[in-house]
Amino acid sequence: MEPVSSTPDRVAPHLLDLARRVSTATLSSQLLKHGFAHAFMLGVRPLRPDLRLAGQAFTLRYIPVREDLERPGEFDNRTNKQRIAVESVGPGDVLVIDARGDTRAATLGDILATRIAQRGAAGIVTDGAFRDTPSIQTIDLPTYAGGQSPIVSTAIHHPQDINVPIGCGGVAVLPGDVIVGDGEGVLVIPRAVAEDVIEAGYEQEQREEFIMSKIRGGSSILGVYPPDERTLQEYAEWKRR
Amino acid sequence: MEPVSSTPDRVAPHLLDLARRVSTATLSSQLLKHGFAHAFMLGVRPLRPDLRLAGQAFTLRYIPVREDLERPGEFDNRTNKQRIAVESVGPGDVLVIDARGDTRAATLGDILATRIAQRGAAGIVTDGAFRDTPSIQTIDLPTYAGGQSPIVSTAIHHPQDINVPIGCGGVAVLPGDVIVGDGEGVLVIPRAVAEDVIEAGYEQEQREEFIMSKIRGGSSILGVYPPDERTLQEYAEWKRR
Amino acid sequence: MEPVSSTPDRVAPHLLDLARRVSTATLSSQLLKHGFAHAFMLGVRPLRPDLRLAGQAFTLRYIPVREDLERPGEFDNRTNKQRIAVESVGPGDVLVIDARGDTRAATLGDILATRIAQRGAAGIVTDGAFRDTPSIQTIDLPTYAGGQSPIVSTAIHHPQDINVPIGCGGVAVLPGDVIVGDGEGVLVIPRAVAEDVIEAGYEQEQREEFIMSKIRGGSSILGVYPPDERTLQEYAEWKRR
Amino acid sequence: MEPVSSTPDRVAPHLLDLARRVSTATLSSQLLKHGFAHAFMLGVRPLRPDLRLAGQAFTLRYIPVREDLERPGEFDNRTNKQRIAVESVGPGDVLVIDARGDTRAATLGDILATRIAQRGAAGIVTDGAFRDTPSIQTIDLPTYAGGQSPIVSTAIHHPQDINVPIGCGGVAVLPGDVIVGDGEGVLVIPRAVAEDVIEAGYEQEQREEFIMSKIRGGSSILGVYPPDERTLQEYAEWKRR
Amino acid sequence: MEPVSSTPDRVAPHLLDLARRVSTATLSSQLLKHGFAHAFMLGVRPLRPDLRLAGQAFTLRYIPVREDLERPGEFDNRTNKQRIAVESVGPGDVLVIDARGDTRAATLGDILATRIAQRGAAGIVTDGAFRDTPSIQTIDLPTYAGGQSPIVSTAIHHPQDINVPIGCGGVAVLPGDVIVGDGEGVLVIPRAVAEDVIEAGYEQEQREEFIMSKIRGGSSILGVYPPDERTLQEYAEWKRR
Amino acid sequence: MEPVSSTPDRVAPHLLDLARRVSTATLSSQLLKHGFAHAFMLGVRPLRPDLRLAGQAFTLRYIPVREDLERPGEFDNRTNKQRIAVESVGPGDVLVIDARGDTRAATLGDILATRIAQRGAAGIVTDGAFRDTPSIQTIDLPTYAGGQSPIVSTAIHHPQDINVPIGCGGVAVLPGDVIVGDGEGVLVIPRAVAEDVIEAGYEQEQREEFIMSKIRGGSSILGVYPPDERTLQEYAEWKRR
């Protein structure tokens, strides 16, 4: 087995830490300002809504199974693309699996998910299903899926390609893209705008925290959300403290 | 901004308290006796299944977005119908949003939800999505939605009308209707029958509590559920105590 | 009311206990080895993911309601097939309801679910909905459903047959089949292969526990998952201890 | 093979002829007057919209396939319920197949459809698929299906029962029910009200023909549709001619 | 009954004639150039793909039926909004019905469709169903629907408003918008850009006709589609002839 | 633009001719005998049910659109993968497009379809939509699609790869696979078994033609379908004539 390299174009770790502190709602607004309107995966839900996800995409593409492409139930770790992907992801990588949204069988189970966590990966995202989901939910790794099914992947899926551009949950994912997730779902940030989007998102998140504190204190939204000049000035002062 | 008045035809607060103690299952049976068979919203789920909802409908109607109706990302609190609705709802009101069941973008997020809670509203119901759902789940306000999406509402929705009859989750909702919800979902009780339905529902709930105590004690359903004369007499005695 | 007998072809209780310790993922792999590829119910989810289900199918078939088949809201315990089924299930039985996947109304509610639990049944499975789901979730009984709806069953369903072969969640269920469930969902094990599948499944579960311990310890999947000769030998030794 | 008898409770042939001259729209209005609101099959479309269907239901119930119930590709005409049904239907019968709305495989193909036509049956209705649909469309037999698929039935379906109550397209169908169809779809008329519904439907159809002639002539709907006293009088005169 | 006025802001008839000669594909490209990306109705199909539609929207909004809003089967032409709409539309109007995409019952049938045609309207569009579709297909009027059902509208729908902004097939429709349709479906052109879009669309249609003639003649797409300078010059000459 | 080569592993033209004379129903039965159960595309329908399709797959893979991958409305014939594919297909090729089943925008329109026909290709298959479908239906080329939409492809799709393994309608398609289609839909025959499947399919088709002639003549299915020894002998004689 020859492991496949992750993208060499890494995002600075402190930026990923920052990204984990910004909601997908806020980041999607920043993406929209850069013109990206197709960034949120539809039908992909967190198994662990309490964890935040931030990392860079390492992609795996499944096609529909065909009886001459593999023998059901057999996995050769040296040639099977799913297995090569599992043993290739490393720190900061998010394994993103294109399963065509088909959840009738799993895309992987708890042993592979544990191995991925052991390798230091940042998370797993699939628009297909996991199997052993009750067990996967006990791993401290942000995981997202379109469903759950105990059926082994080879009943429906054939792993075809590693680190090619894919679609997942209706969104284009290129290797190296920044993948972020919270309890709401998963957002894809194109690599080229990742720094800008995350930093502006963090700034927006702080501003909205201030606005929220005013609203919680009984303020009307008038002049506050969106903020007018006066509120922005108050915010500037609040931030300085 | 000119706030819009809630319905002046208020239900007595103690009746809403009573309604919060009756399950939607029981209330739906009472509605059926009044001939109302289309009262339960399909696909609308609680964000906080631990809270009970009871209040009167204040409606907001969205239509599909159109590029000449608004500029994405801009909200004028004085003219935007969504914003006017948020600053109009008051104690006892439930903001009910007709989003045509389209969950590809949000109908509102945590800042507006917090403002609605601050204004004393009884809850929020939408057959579209919320954004910032993880944050909204921390507000002590019964909220119900058809999904979750970080995408800002203007990507898909245009707020068109306030306090007109709408459809939500496949159910007609008229301003002033009584909206009740529990962990199962949301039920619409037409204003004209609200007192009757809630009071009879409360009576039924007590009777079924008695029946349940018998079943838990090992009784068969024969003669008990539905109750025969003897069981009804036992219930009358039980109630007197 | 004449109760209907459960299958006399019982599975030994210790096997059902064993089955409760094996995941549906593992059991589905064993079923595949016996040639059974259509065994997992689609769209049927646990109300109590913390409980494990194992028992034998006692089936109830609903057809669409028709206005001349019953009067809405009236239930005669002596003739209504739903009620006869409830008072017929016993220890080791799983009531499996074919509701054609239609969740617009319930298939049963908390009083009947409590009665079923009181009768010692092993669980309830429906591809329709339950009503009173918040209350059913408090019963210590594994229950699985396709949805939740407060609407009484007679709005959509007519109970037609007891203990005939049915479809549920897209899977054939014959009376006496072994029904197992965990947080992932429900699997149907044909009666004739139940002993083999459960025992082999238990063996596989132990082996995977060993493999998982190695993966958690930092091992690669190479030679471990699937296990090569050496790993199998290690497992044999581990097991002996 | 022992053929199964059709219902002995036959509708007079001239009534079925009459039924073929009334639209399903009109008949559904008459059914509603008798309190039947769940009579139209959803998702079941005509292969030959130019033909009218009227006959009595001979039902066939499929359950999901299971690998131990039959060997794929083998059909024993003496024991297979599908084959027995085909060789049992006769003049005036409509073979109605409950395929659980699953169209991933066929319920039957052109050879069996031809045999059914040869036996004098009135039509075939399934909420599953046909195979050989291009060929079936050339047979002068009203046929209705939920889809089309070349895949042989045994890939998905197992024929379980003949002439039991079933669901088809979301509607209860009892053996002997009157099944009518036109280009719009299929309607189920309970046997007990068939004469009344068809006769009143024919009367309504004539009246609406008269109304249509007035509308085509330029009349407003005011006083005409629905007809007032004067229009009804005109109709009485028109009819006399 | 007080008829409701159509929009007074009429598009010149020759422009509607022009629009009928341009495909929805071409017009959608022109709309995109004006920034309108949500203009095509999803799931709305022609009953008469041979006819072209062009007219201005006269809207009708349905909400879900409620048992206290009307008595099933009864229609008062003086107060029922559906009936008032039918007797209000005139030459150049397209009746566009918001039925929330619910096709379980009809939105109108052949008598009302005939009356609408008699009044000179340009067509009918609904994202719900028609009843009497076989009969409506014989009327020389472009009609589009989301489905077909013989069930009378009052089983599911209540006509609520006339000539308010609506959603239909996922597209915002404002009274007076230009509605065009061909065999592919229905497109909504905002009133303010109608002249520009139609005229530019007609120009584009001619250019593509020229391009098509070259492709049919064996030309490659290189330099032709999209056209380079030389091809545009050829087109200018071709057009002059 | 560098055109991409079609598979050099060509099927003999007379075999494709033979394939055009066999129904997809018959060919799917032969595929099943070779163990291929996932061969029929779901949701992909013929625009021209009167034409038969047989050719070899030339694949095109779309991923979801992303705003930085292309500028909407602009197509560079030298670099755009869709355009390169169009100018690469040749005699005997079927362009098969993986559009992830997303029909909200087109995958191509009538000018490109005409060019493909001009280049001698055998057909076009997509699980997305076409635009200009009314015009494409006039081309004498077998075309199959999942829907129709006037919206230009770049609104939803980005053409990513040519001649890689894809999924289309839920079926794996490898470059060079034999693609056959009739009025029922599209079937994928793996290259390695194409000769066997087509020849055995042709033989089966003839035998069923004979069986059909007997059924049309009034024969029962007993001993005829499936054929017993005697019928097979009769067939042998019939064939000799």
pLDDT tens per residue across span D10-69: 999 999 999 999 999 999 999 999 999 999 999 999 999 999 999 999 999 999 999 999
Of the candidates C102, C96, C110, C113, the residue with the CA atom closest to the CA atom of residue C65: C102
> Is E220's CB within 8 Å of F73's CB?
no
> Is B155's CB within 8 Å of A49's CB?
no
- What's the CA angle centered on C153, arms C147 and C159, to 5 degrees? 110
C54-81 pLDDT, tens per residue? 999 999 999 999 999 976 556 788 899 9
Cα D202 from Cα D219, distance rounded (Å): 23
Cα B146 from Cα B47, distance rounded (Å): 10
Binding partners of E (≥3 Cβ pairs within 8 A): B, D, F
End-to-end CA distance of chain D: 55
Over pLDDT 70: what percentage of chain B?
98
> Is F106's CB within 8 Å of E185's CB?
no
Q: Which residues in E171-196 are b (16+ Cβ under 10 Å) and which e?
A: bbbbbbbbbbbbbbbbbbbbbebbee
Question: How distant, in Å, are the alpha carbons of C121, C123, C126, C173 from that of C59?
Answer: 13, 12, 10, 8
User: By three-state DSSP, how is residue E16 classified?
Assistant: helix
> Is C109's CB within 8 Å of B183's CB?
no
> Is C68's CB within 8 Å of D192's CB?
yes
Query: Strands D157-162 and D53-64, how do they pair?
Result: antiparallel
Facing A36 at nearest CB: one of F38, F67, F166: F67
Tens of pLDDT along chain A (241 residues) come to 788 999 889 999 999 999 999 999 999 999 999 999 999 999 999 999 999 999 999 999 999 999 999 765 567 888 999 999 999 999 999 999 999 999 999 999 999 999 999 999 999 999 999 999 999 999 999 999 999 999 999 999 999 999 999 999 999 999 999 999 999 999 999 999 999 999 999 999 999 999 999 999 999 999 999 999 999 999 999 988 8
Chain D contact present for C196, CB below 8 A: no
Chain E contact present for D184, CB below 8 A: yes
E58, two tokens: 């006269």
> Predicted confidence band at D74 (pLDDT cuts at 50, 70, 90)?
low
Q: Which residues in C194-231 are b (16+ Cβ under 10 Å) and which e?
A: beebbebbbebbbbbebbbebbeeebbbeebbebeeeb
User: By three-state DSSP, how is residue E198 classified?
Assistant: helix
Kindly tell me if the per-residue pLDDT of E45 is higher than 70.
yes
Cβ count near E43 (within 10 Å): 15
Cα B144 from Cα B186, distance rounded (Å): 8
Predicted pLDDT of residue E179: 98
Predicted pLDDT of residue C71: 65
B48-93 pLDDT, tens per residue? 999 999 999 999 999 999 999 976 566 788 899 999 999 999 999 9
Give the chain F residue nearest A41 (alpha carbons): F64
Give the chain F residue nearest D131 (alpha carbons): F25
Predicted pLDDT of residue A65: 96
Which runs of E-coded beta strand occur in E65-208? 93-98, 106-108, 123-126, 129-130, 143-145, 147-148, 157-162, 166-168, 171-173, 178-182, 185-189
Facing C68 at nearest CB: one of D158, D167, D190: D190
Is the bond into A226 cis (omega within 30 degrees of 0)?
yes
Over pLDDT 70: what percentage of chain D?
98
Kindly tell me if the per-residue pLDDT of E72 is higher than 80.
no
Residues in chain F: 241
* Amino acid, res. E188: V
Interface list for C 24-83 with A (CB within 8 A):
24-29, 32-33, 37, 40, 42, 49
Chain A contact present for B151, CB below 8 A: yes
- SS3 string of chain A? CCCCCCCCCCCCHHHHHHHCCCCHHHHHHHHHHCCCCCCECCCCEECCCCCCEEEEEEEEEEEECCCCCCCCCCCCCCCCHHHHHHCCCCCCEEEEEECCCCCCCEEECHHHHHHHHHCCCCEEEECCEECCHHHHCCCCCCEEECEECCCCHHHCEEEEEECCCEEECCEEECCCCEEEEECCEEEEECHHHHHHHHHHHHHHHHHHHHHHHHHHCCCCCCCECCECHHHHHHHHHHHHC
> Is E221's CB within 8 Å of F87's CB?
yes
Would you say F112 and F130 are in contact if contact means Cβ atoms under 8 Å apart?
A: no
Predicted pLDDT of residue C2: 82
The structure tokens 């997303």 sit at: F102
Pick from F32, F62, F68 the residue to mutate for testing the A interface (most A CBs within 10 Å). F68
- Calculate mean pLDDT across residues E149-173: 97
Contacts of F149 in chain E (CB under 8 A): 40, 184-185
Give the chain A residue nearest B78 (alpha carbons): A222
- Backbone dihedral angles phi then psi of residue E196, each to the nearest 5 degrees: -60, -50
Q: Which residue has the higher pLDDT, E187 or A1?
A: E187
Q: Do chains F and B touch (3 or more CB pairs under 8 A)?
A: no
CA count, 13 A, side-chain hemisphere, B90: 8
Q: Return the C-alpha torsion angle F169, F175, F180, F185, nearest 10.
A: 10
What's the maximum distance between 2 C-alpha atoms anywhere in chain C?
A: 68
Binding partners of A (≥3 Cβ pairs within 8 A): B, C, F
Facing A148 at nearest CB: one of C26, C29, C184: C184
> Is E28's CB within 8 Å of F135's CB?
no
- DSSP secondary structure, C123-182, as one string: EEEESSEESSHHHHTTSSS-EEESEE--S-GGGTEEEEEESS-EEETTEEE-TT-EEEEE
Which runs of E-coded beta strand occur in chain E? 45-46, 53-64, 93-98, 106-108, 123-126, 129-130, 143-145, 147-148, 157-162, 166-168, 171-173, 178-182, 185-189
C124-137 pLDDT, tens per residue? 999 999 999 999 99
Cα A87 from Cα A77, distance rounded (Å): 9
Cα D115 from Cα D128, distance rounded (Å): 19
Residue C226 distance to chain D (closest CA, Å) = 27
Predicted pLDDT of residue E70: 74
Residue F149 distance to chain E (closest CA, Å) = 6
> Predicted confidence band at B235 (pLDDT cuts at 50, 70, 90)?
very high
Residues in CB range of A152: below 8 A, 6 or more apart: A72, A73, A105, A106, A131, C25, C28, C29, C32
- Backbone dihedral angles phi then psi of residue C186, each to the nearest 5 degrees: -120, 135
Residue D185 distance to chain E (closest CA, Å) = 7
- Calculate mean pLDDT across residues D197-210: 97
Predicted pLDDT of residue C206: 97
Residue F78 distance to chain D (closest CA, Å) = 39
Query: Strands D45-46 and D143-145, how do they pair?
Result: antiparallel
> Is D25's CB within 8 Å of E150's CB?
yes
Kindly tell me if the per-residue pLDDT of E152 is higher than 90.
yes
> Predicted confidence band at F71 (pLDDT cuts at 50, 70, 90)?
low
Binding partners of C (≥3 Cβ pairs within 8 A): A, B, D
| Complex confidence, ipTM | 0.95
Residue A52 distance to chain B (closest CA, Å) = 11
**pLDDT beneath 70: ranges in chain C:** 71-74
- What's the CA angle centered on A31, arms A30 and A32, to 5 degrees? 90
> Is B87's CB within 8 Å of A221's CB?
yes
Cα F172 from Cα A66, distance rounded (Å): 6
Residues in CB range of C38: below 8 A, 6 or more apart: C170, C171, C172, D64, D65, D66, D67
Predicted pLDDT of residue A31: 98
Cα E161 from Cα F179, distance rounded (Å): 51
- Calculate mean pLDDT across residues F166-178: 98
Give the chain C residue nearest B210 (alpha carbons): C111
- Calculate mean pLDDT across residues D85-99: 97
Kindly tell me if the per-residue pLDDT of F72 is higher than 70.
no
Cα A168 from Cα A99, distance rounded (Å): 7
> Is C66's CB within 8 Å of D190's CB?
yes
